[in-house]
Amino acid sequence: MNSPVLHLYPDRESCAAALAQVLAGRLRAATQGGAQAHLLLPGGQSPLPLLQRLAALELDWSQVELAPSDERWVAADDAASNLRLLRDALPQAHWLDPRQGPTPQLAAQRWGERLQCRLPLTAVLLGMGEDGHFASLFPDMPGLAAALAADAAPSALVGVAPVQPCLRLTPNLALLLRSDWLGLLVFGGAKRALLEAVLADHPQTRTLPVHALLQQAGKRLQIYWAP
């Protein structure tokens, strides 16, 4: 496997601080001359220290459009919404809501079309679960092989999670790879052990979504890890 780049930190705060500087540099470079930057960020608890760091930096957020790297099919103001979590942390940015239609299928189609118009994205940061999922591409979900296919057209789709809320909106892997910078934020010993197994190409990891991510992204992928 063409291995990604590992950035290891002794604690989550130092990891978040370093990653915030990297993302800020990317955003500043992309917005020089008045252009707009496009950034995807993960939801959940892991990125909270990063969001706090980003909010404290001097950036022209009027030139930055953000979207969650995946979203749950709930109302935008629901406590489970990734958009709500991210928007509360960075209210000064422009936000692209994945809910672009009245049904999950239509919303995913239209969101994918909106994202296609923004390719290549300035930066994409992903999270990963202990089951090896990223974005809302979960092991054994319907349509997973097509969503991970290396030759797929960039698009978005309806993901199915093993926990409530089950229905999710997610880009496919082909779209996520169409970015000028690609990162994976991972905390904890269990997730590092899983990554090391994937990097060693253990047979039991080959069906996991993260295996496809590492294999297709290769050294372009920047992995940020802390205990």
pLDDT at 222: 98
Helix and strand tally (H, E) in the chain? Answer: 8, 10
DSSP of 3-31, one letter per residue?
Answer: PPEEEE-SSHHHHHHHHHHHHHHHHHHHT
pLDDT score of 2 more than 90: no
Output phi, psi for 119, to 5 deg: -75, 145
Q: What is the pLDDT of residues 16-29, one digit of tens each?
A: 999 999 999 999 99
Please state, for a pLDDT cut of 90, what percent of the chain lies above it.
99
Pick from 27, 44, 39: nearest CA to 84:
44
pLDDT at 139: 98
Q: Are 192 and 167 in contact (CB under 8 A)?
A: no
Q: What are the structural domain ranges in the chain? A: 5-226
pTM: 0.97
Q: Does domain 5-226 have CATH number 3.40.50.1360?
A: yes
Mean pLDDT, all residues of the chain: 97
Average pLDDT over residues 62-91: 97
Residue 160's CB is within 10 A of a number of other CB atoms, namely 18
pLDDT at 70: 98
Paired tokens of 68: 């969650």
Helix (H) or strand (E) holding 148: helix 144-148
pLDDT at 4: 98
Q: Are 40 and 123 in contact (CB under 8 A)?
A: yes
Please state, for a pLDDT cut of 70, what percent of the chain lies above it.
100
Strands (E), 42-166: 64-68, 71-72, 94-95, 123-127, 156-160
